[in-house]
Structure formats: structure tokens, C-alpha cells
Amino acid sequence: MSWLDLLSRWELVEADLHQVFGIDLDQSSALRGRSWRWLRTRIAGLLVCDSRIARALDPGDDRASRRR
């Protein structure tokens, strides 16, 4: 997984940030005062939970088959 992989699926990252952490990136104040590290940590968290972006980047993962 690379940052290019994440950026090419940014709509999934945005949706997951909102669903998992309640972060609405459409709000201009969502990232105001936050560091790059803060955002990177939350995106990394999305990659280890049952999220859209995690499934998109690893469609063969066990989590996808358990939901069927």
C-alpha cells in the first residue's frame, strides 16, 4: 500500500474518516489546527479496521469473506 493507492481512492478515505471518527472533511474547520501526524494516524487506523479503504486495498482479506 502506498500513499498513491490511498489518494487514488480518496473518496473511500473521506467516507471512512466520517463514519469511523466523525471527521467531515467537507467542513472547512475539520483539519484546522491539526497536524499531518494527526491525520496520518487516523488514516493508518482505517487500514487496520473494517473500513472501505482497507477492503479496497486488500480485497482478498479475511474481513471481506466473513461478511458474506
Q: pLDDT, tens digit, for every residue of 25-54?
A: 998 898 899 999 999 999 999 999 999 999
Q: Answer with the residue of higher pLDDT: 2 or 11.
A: 11
Total domains present in the chain: 1
Cβ proximity of 34 and 17 under 8 Å: no
| The pLDDT of residue 62 | 55
Mean local confidence (pLDDT), 5-22? 95
For 14, the domain range is 3-66
Pick the residue with more confidence: 8 or 66? Answer: 8
Q: How many CB atoms lie within 10 A of CB 53?
A: 24
